[in-house]
Amino acid sequence: MPDAFDPTPADRFTFGLWTVGNPGADPFGGRVRERISPVEIVAGLAKCGAYGVNLHDNDLIPFGAPAAERDRIVKEFKKALREHGMKVPMATTNLFSHAIFRDGAFTSADARVRAFAVQKAMRAIELGVELGAKTIVFWGGREGCETEAAKDARDALKWNRECMNFLCAWSKDQGWKLRFALEAKPNEPRSEIYLATTGHMLHFIETLDHSEMVGVNPEVAHENMPGLSMVHAVAQSMECGKLFHIDLNGQKIGRYDQDLRFGSEDLKGAFFLVRLLEGTGGYPAYTGPLHFDAHAYRTEDVAGVWDFARGCMRSYKILAAKAKAFDADREVRQILADNRKLGASHAKAITRFSKAAAMRLLAESFDAEALAARGHRYERLDQIAFEVLTGVRR
C-alpha cells in the first residue's frame, strides 16, 4: 500500500549504476545474481520513484570500447533516460579497476599513468556533460600505499593537486559550469589512502587553483569505518559551503566498507544526519541530490535489490519526518532554548577582538564553581530523540 513515505522524483533520490547493479561478488566469492543492465536499472529506479541515476564511465561503457560502440551505448542509454524521465546529476571516473592503476591514478609514481588517468577523467567528464551531469565526483580508490617506503606522501599530494588543477582549468576552458566533489576514504582497497577523511579533503581543496569549483562528497561508511562522525564531517562541509554531493549508506564501525542500505546501521547517526540535511534543527537545508552509494546484501536475488532500493529511500523519508517531529517538540525546543539563554549577556564578549574587549575580558571575574554546577539536560534530550525514533513519542 502506498503511503507518505513512498519516494517520488521530487525527493531527489539517486543511485549509482554500480550500486543497484552490484551482483554481489566479494573478495571471497563470485557474483550471486545476474547483473542488471543499465537500461533495466533506469526503468527499475524510475518505477521505485527515484529522481536519477549516476555512473562511472565504465559502468556504462566497457574500458577501451571503440568510439562507435561508445556512441551506440550512450544513445540507447539516453533513450531509456528520456522514456523514464530519469536524470544523471552526477558522473565519475573509474580510476581503480584496471591494473594500470595498481599504484594509483593521480598519485601513481609513473607520470605516464598520471597522464592517462587525467585523459580518462576528461573522457568521463565529457560523457557526464553529454548526459546532463552537473557534478563530477572523484574517488581516488587506488591513491594510496601499502608501504611508506614507496613514495613520499608530499609527492603524492603534489601530483594529485596537479591533476585536479589541470582538470579544473580544462573544464572551465570548455565553458562548462561543473562542480567537482572529492570523496575521502581512509583505506580499502589500499592499506592507506591519501586524504583519508572529509576534513583532509576540505584542506586540500583550499590549495587548488580553482578551489571555488571543488567541494566534497562525504560518505557515511567512509567516515564511520574509522569511527568518525559523519554528522560532523557533513556539518563542517555545509558550514563552509562545500557539500556538493553526498553518499548515503550504512556501516558498522571498524569493519570493511560495507555500503549497507541507508538507515540499516547506526539509527541515531542516520537520524541526526538527515536532521542536518533537512535543516529542521536550524540552518538552511541541503538541496542537492540525495545519492545512495550502497548495495543489497549478498543474500539477495534481483527482487531483493529493489527491496533494498525502496528501503534506502523510505528510510530517509521516515527519518526526515522524525527529524521534523523532534524539532517541533515543545520540550526539545525548551531545553535547547534554555541552554542557549545561559550567559546571553556574555555572547558578545569574545565574538570580536579589540584591545578594549581584551581588557574587559581580563578584568572579568568568573564564578567557575557556580558555572560548573549546572547540568544541561542532554540525557533527557537524547531520550526524547530515542522515543521519537521508536514511535513511542509523536
Which residue has the CB atom at the shortest distance from ligand GCO?
Answer: 139
Kindly state the smallest distance separating residue 259's Cβ from ligand GCO, in Å: 7
266 vs 329, which CB is nearer to Mn ion? 266
| Largest separation between any pair of C-alpha atoms in the chain | 78
Q: Which does 137 bind (CB under 5 to 8 A by kind): ligand GCO, Mn ion, none?
A: ligand GCO
Residue list 175-234, contact with Mn ion (CB under 5 A): 219, 221
How big is the chain, counted in residues?
Answer: 394
Kindly state the smallest distance separating residue 257's Cβ from Mn ion, in Å: 4
* SS3 annotation, 244-277: CCCEECECCCCCCCCCECCCCCCHHHHHHHHHHH
Per-residue cell: 31 = 557474483
CA 123-128-134 angle, to 5 degrees, is 135
Q: Which does 92 bind (CB under 5 to 8 A by kind): Mn ion, ligand GCO, none?
A: ligand GCO
Kindly state the smallest distance separating residue 381's Cβ from Mn ion, in Å: 31
Question: Who contacts 7 (Cβ-Cβ below 8 Å, separation ≥6)?
Answer: 13, 48, 49, 50, 310, 313, 314, 317
How many Cβ atoms are within 10 Å of 64's Cβ, its own excluded? Answer: 8
Residue list 124-143, contact with ligand GCO (CB under 6 A): 137, 139
Closest of 44, 45, 22 to residue 32, by C-alpha:
22
266 binds ligand GCO (CB under 6 A): no
Kindly state the smallest distance separating residue 191's Cβ from ligand GCO, in Å: 15
Kindly state the smallest distance separating residue 88's Cβ from Mn ion, in Å: 16
Determine the Cα–Cα distance for residues 201 and 212; give it in Å rounded to an integer. Answer: 14
Closest of 238, 166, 154 to residue 204, by C-alpha:
154
Determine the Cα–Cα distance for residues 141 and 179; give it in Å rounded to an integer. Answer: 20
103 binds Mn ion (CB under 5 A): no
265 binds Mn ion (CB under 5 A): no
Q: Is 3 one of the annotated active-site residues of the chain? A: no
Q: Which of 59, 257, 259, 329 is catalytic?
A: 59
57 binds Mn ion (CB under 5 A): no
223 binds ligand GCO (CB under 6 A): no
37 vs 187, which CB is nearer to Mn ion? 187
259 binds Mn ion (CB under 5 A): yes
Residue list 271-300, contact with ligand GCO (CB under 6 A): 293
59 binds ligand GCO (CB under 6 A): no
Task: Please provide residue 374's backbone torsions phi and psi, each rounded to the nearest 5 degrees.
Answer: -85, 135
Q: Which of 6, 26, 56, 110 is catalytic?
A: 56
Q: How far apart, in Å, do the first and last CA atoms of the chain sit?
A: 22
Per-residue cell: 88 = 544523471
258 vs 280, which CB is nearer to ligand GCO? 258
190 binds ligand GCO (CB under 6 A): no
Q: Is 59 one of the annotated active-site residues of the chain? A: yes
- Catalytic annotation, residues: 56, 59
| Positions that interact with ligand GCO (CB under 6 A) | 92, 137, 139, 183, 185, 219, 247, 257, 293
